[in-house]
Amino acid sequence: MTTTYRAPKMPTSMQRPGPPAAHNRPAWEEPPTKVGLASKGVVLGFAMLAILFPLWIVIVTSLSSKETITKAGGLVLIPREITFVAYRELLSGGQVSRATLVSLGVTLVGTLFSVTVSVLCAYGLSRSGSLWHRGILMTLLTTMFFTAGLIPTYLLVQSLGLTDTYLALILPSAVSVFNILVLRAFFMNVSQEIVDSARIDGAGDWRILWQIVLPLSRAVVAVIALFYAVGYWSAWFNASLYLNDHDMLPLQNVMIQVVQRQEPPTGLGQAVKAGPLSPLAVQMAVMVLAMLPVTVLSPFVQKHFKKGMLTGAVKG
């Protein structure tokens, strides 16, 4: 039996007065000066503001009524009321609704496919000394240095008959060798003893992957899934190359049309002209739709980013 030692709690009256400083600050380090701390705070605050302020304008304007937008002369800095009329219009059918669904669908299916393929490949290569393991690894690594270029890829995807199919948005970018390397590095760190004992107990590779390696690597799989999902969600270029049918375009491409070129989305031209809907609010709402999923998802896996990035970089 071991008992953990706990320092006896001091009564509050006996504790030293003064600021509750010293969060992990070692004894030898001089406490920061007031001026130093303040100026650091100002710089960091400015950096964060530079990111958050534009997003604030976009979000506030998307939630404003037509009157507020007219009164502000365009973009709104200070909210007067919150109205979801732009979102309601956009998501009740029409071009943006369809594009959002397309983006969600491609992202979900693509991420699932990419993660599955990458995890399988990473596990397959995670044991040094297994058959052809070196050769396959080299085959993958080479593509990180030699990329084929736009034109041959374009001709290939076209001649495979992928034009005007959603496969063209998934297959050409389905595998990232970097992500496979990150996963592989983590799988190799799973204790070999556990794997070997499972094997002796009769578990095959599928079972070892599913019941031992994957549960031990949840964090990194989550990070990789996020990377893939962000890639699919943000992609617009392949859609602009391979989709001629405008009804198939994903959200990013519709955002180019609606926000960058300022052509109102089809399906609600009337509501913009007659109704209580400002075209500016529509544009901003499209932008919020595009930023929402990644903004919500990324903080959940934030604490794992560092591990994922580094392992990949070091063990490549």
Partner 1 sequence: MKTAAARPSAGEDSAPGAEPPAPGADTAPPARIGRWAMFRLRLRRDGTRLWMTLPALLLVVVFAYVPILGNLVAFEEYDPYASDNGVVAMFHSAWVGLEQFTRIFEDPAFWDALQNTLVLFVLQLVLFFPIPIALALLINSFVRPRVRAVAQAVLYLPHFFSWVLVITVFQQIFGGAGIIAQILRQNGIEGFDLMTDPGLFKFLVTAEGVWKDAGWGIIVFLAALASVSPDLYEAAAVDGANRWRRMWHVTLPALRPVIALLLVLRVGDALTVGFEQILLQRDAVGPGASEVLDTYVWWNGIRNQDFSFAAAAGLVKGLVGITLVLIANKMAHLLGEQGVYRK
Return the number of the residue (101 or 117) whose C-beta is nearest partner 1. 117
80 closest CA partner among 64, 58, 66, 57: 64
- Least separation in angstroms between CB 28 and partner 1: 4
* Number of residues located near partner 1, criterion CB under 8 A: 99
Return the number of the residue (97 or 176) whose C-beta is nearest partner 1. 176
User: By CB under 8 A, which span of 84-92, 127-135, 211-219, 268-276 interacts with partner 1?
Assistant: 127-135
What residues from 60 to 119 belong to the interface with partner 1 (CB under 8 A)?
73-75, 77, 117-118
| CA angle, 248 then 250 then 252, to 5° | 145
How many Cβ atoms are within 10 Å of 243's Cβ, its own excluded?
Answer: 20
18 binds partner 1 per the rule CB under 8 A: no
User: Tokens standing for 309?
Assistant: 């990035």
| CA angle, 211 then 227 then 133, to 5° | 55
- Least separation in angstroms between CB 261 and partner 1: 9
What residues from 229 to 258 belong to the interface with partner 1 (CB under 8 A)?
230, 233-237, 241, 252, 255-256
- Least separation in angstroms between CB 79 and partner 1: 15
174 closest CA partner among 166, 182, 186: 166
What residues from 129 to 188 belong to the interface with partner 1 (CB under 8 A)?
129-133, 136, 139-140, 143, 145-156, 158-159, 171-172, 174-175, 177, 180, 188
Q: Which of 91, 104, 109, 120 binds partner 1 (CB under 8 A)?
A: 120
Torsion angle, alpha carbons of 10, 16, 22, 26, to 10: -90
- Least separation in angstroms between CB 260 and partner 1: 6
3-state secondary structure (DSSP) of residue 306: helix
64 closest CA partner among 39, 91, 90, 82: 82
